Amino acid sequence: MPFIDAGGITVHYDLTGPADAPVLLFANSIGTSFHIWDAMVPVLAQRYRVLRYDMRGHGLTQATPVTGDAGYGMDTLADDAAALLDALGIARAHVCGLSIGGMMAQRLAVKAPRRVNGLILCDTAGLIGPPSVWADRIAAIRARGMAGIADGVMARWFTERFRAEHPAQVRGYAAMLGRTTEDGYVGCAMAIRDADLRAANAGIAAPTLVVVGDQDLATPPALARELADSIPGARFALLPDAAHIPCVERPDELAALIDGFLRGLPLR
């Protein structure tokens, strides 16, 4: 299992694919690890050097303490991604983020435009709220632990059909959520709560694809379309029969969308 010191924390990552291929960086959603992308790697790693990492406080990446009402902040999470690229000697990458990973990717594309070739924003938005949603979830975690939010989260992550047909997978993802550190989840929840990226997104220069599951309750299609409309030249794609984690429910379809989009970009 590769680990590296980057941005003042120890980061768990995976890098696979041809050494001379364009790098494709994946950023996970809140409460998950980089394993949500597993089913897409065999296809995409044939053409890209696929870099996945666990966000701060998630998976096997180090958590930093959350004190009071101050979370990690979206700038911190974007800086984490840039620091990982630096530590691995990667100057530029295509960047794909899901949910909070997509918010991080938006911020990275604004803060460090020269680092981002193509941008894929999955089931995310410039503002995911209202803040009361995150305040209630943080309170529930502090009162009952991570397991206390699992049922509600699974209902948002996956469609009813997927939950019925793949109960073992859903239990596995509930376990993944439950093993996320409280500091990591709360710190990232506060980062989402406090982030409004909508105005800054007009400055994103990277070619952008916005993808959303047609049954996503957490970041509904209307919100994703609003995100696409806010980014100059962004494309929008609706993924059928998917909720908030399409890389698990519809990995082949999502991989095809990403590959088709990136193949159409000019070499830089």
Show me where the domains of the chain are located: 3-263
Beta-carbon contacts of residue 141 (< 8 Å; ≥ 6 apart): 148, 149, 182, 185, 186
- Which pLDDT score is estimated for 267? 60
Q: How far apart are CA 28 and CA 11, in angstroms?
A: 13
> Which pLDDT score is estimated for 68?
82
Torsion angle, alpha carbons of 219, 107, 238, 15, to 10: -110
pLDDT of residue 102: 98
Residue 57's alpha-carbon distances to 191, 217, 261, in angstroms, are 13, 25, 31
- How remote is the C-alpha of 87 from its chain's centroid? 20
Residue 207: closest CA among 121, 123, 141, 145: 121
pLDDT for residue 44: 98
Q: Which residues are bridge partners to 208 per DSSP?
A: 119
Question: How far, in Å, are 41, 47, 106, 119, 235 from residue 259 at the CA level?
Answer: 12, 9, 19, 12, 14
| Structure-block tokens of residue 131 | 């803040």
DSSP letter at 9 equals E
Size (the chain), residues: 268
Give the C-alpha separation, 108 to 115, whole Å.
Answer: 8
- pLDDT tens track of the chain, all 268 residues? 799 999 999 999 999 999 999 999 999 999 999 999 999 999 999 999 999 999 999 999 999 999 888 899 999 999 999 999 999 999 999 999 999 999 999 999 999 999 999 999 999 999 998 999 999 999 999 999 998 899 999 999 999 999 999 999 999 999 999 999 999 999 999 999 999 999 999 999 999 999 999 999 999 999 999 999 999 999 999 999 999 999 999 999 999 999 999 998 976 5
* pLDDT for 170: 97
Provide CATH code, domain 3-263: 3.40.50.1820
Please answer whether residues 137 and 149 qualify as being in contact, where contact means their C-beta atoms are separated by less than 8 angstroms.
yes
Q: Is 172 left (phi over 0), alpha (psi -120 to 50) or beta?
A: alpha
pTM of the model: 0.96
Confidence (pLDDT) at 70: 85
Q: Is the peptide bond before 130 cis (omega within 30 degrees of 0)?
A: yes
**Model pLDDT, residue 268:** 57
